[in-house]
Amino acid sequence: MSRYLSCRFWGLEPYVPGEQPYNRTYLKLNTNESPYPPAPGVLSSISRAEIQRLNLYPDPDTRVVSELIAAHFNLDPHNVLLGNGSDELLSFCFQAFCDAEHAACFPDISYGFYPVFARIFCVPVQIIPLNADFQIHAVDYCPAGGTIFIANPNAPTGLTLSLHEIEIILKANPDHVVVVDEAYVDFGAESASKLILSFNNLVVIQTMSKSRNLAGARIGFALADQELITDLRTMKYSFNPYNLNRLSLAAAAAALQDKDYFQSCIQKIMNARVFITVELEKRGFQVLPSLANFIFAKPGIPGETYYLGLKEKGILVRHFQQNRIRDYVRITVGTIDQMQMLLDATDQLLKEAG
C-alpha cells in the first residue's frame, strides 16, 4: 500500500472474486455464472440504433426496467431500485441503514462482501454463527439488535430459510432493517418479495446475473417499501446517478420479457443440480441440500487437494480457507455435459488418491 492510503483502510482485506483465468481454457465452475447465453431477444435489443445513442446518458430512473420488474413482482415501480449488480445495492444498504448505533448483523459463513462493506463503511458488526449443520436459525436473530443481512439461499452453503422463518425475523426486529439477499432465489427457494407490502423494514435484493444469464451486464435490483427505496435512491444519487449503462438496461428489459426462456434455463440447471448431487453422493461426497445454482460438497479427500487436482485437470471450483469450511468446495451447476466432465475428473482424482 502507498503512504497516502487512509489509515482507516490499513489491513483491509478486500473481497476476493473467483478466479478468472486468462492463460488457458478452463471449465469454470467457480463463479456461479449461468452456462446458458442470455435470452435471444437480448442480442437484438442491443441494436445499432441503441449503440449510436451511447453519446447520451442512460435514464437515471431506469423507468422501463423498473416497471417490468414491478409488474413481475406485483409491486409498484416506487418499490423498485436498480443497481450496478446486487453488490452496489448491498453497499447502499450498509451506508443507509448501518452506523455506530446500528451494527451489521450477519452469519459467520455467508457472502464474503458483508464483512468487507462493514469495514469500508466503518460499521460495527455482530457475527452470528451458523449451527453445526451450517443452517441459519431464525431465533438467533430475534432480536438481532442491528441491521440484518441474510443471503437466502445462503452462500456458499446453498441452504435456505423458509418464508415463515424470514417473517419471524422481521416481526422480531421492527426497529431495524432486514436485508434479504436473494441472488440465488430463482433456483427453488421462495422469495421474501411476497412480504414487501406487509413489512416496512424489509429490503429484498436480487440480481439478473444468475437466473437471467446476464452476469456481464451487472444488473441488480432492490425491492422494498417506498420509504426505504427513497433512502437507497438517496445513496445512489449521492454516488452515481447513471449507474447502469444504456446497453445493460436494454438487455435487462429484453431478458425480463422472455419468461419462457427464463423458466427453461432455470429448470435445466435444477435438473443438473439433482444429477450432480446424486452422482457425487454415490462417490462418498457429503453434499448439502442446495436450492441455488451451486452445490457445497465435502469430498473424501481434503477440499484444497480436490480443488487443486481439478484445476490441474482444467476445471475450476471454489475453495475457501475458513476453518469451518476448508474441507468443502463450492461447485457451480452447469450443463449435464459439464457435470459429467467434472465427474470424470473426480473419478480420476479419487483413483489417484487410492
Backbone angles phi, psi at 170, to 5 degrees: -65, -45
pLDDT average per 10 residues of sequence, the chain (354 residues): 90 88 88 97 92 96 98 98 98 97 97 96 97 96 97 98 98 98 98 98 98 98 98 97 97 98 98 98 98 97 96 96 95 98 97 85
User: In what helix (H) or strand (E) does residue 228 lie, and over which residues does it extend?
Assistant: helix 226-237
Cβ(280)–Cβ(342) under 8 Å? no
> CA 139, CA 211: separation in Å to the nearest integer?
30
Say which DSSP state 5 is in.
S
Identify the pLDDT of residue 259. Answer: 97
Residue where the block lists cell 430463482: 186
- Sequence-distant (≥ 6) Cβ neighbours of residue 47 within 8 angstroms: none
**Amino acid in position 60:** P
pLDDT score at 151: 98
CATH (residue range 40-257): 3.40.640.10
Handedness of CA 28, 30, 32, 33 (dihedral sign): negative
How far CA 26 is from CA of 315, 328, 331, 342, in Å, comes to: 5, 20, 14, 11
Q: Where are the domains of the chain?
A: 17-37+260-353, 40-257
Q: Which residue has the cell 483502510?
A: 9
CATH of domain 17-37+260-353: 3.90.1150.10
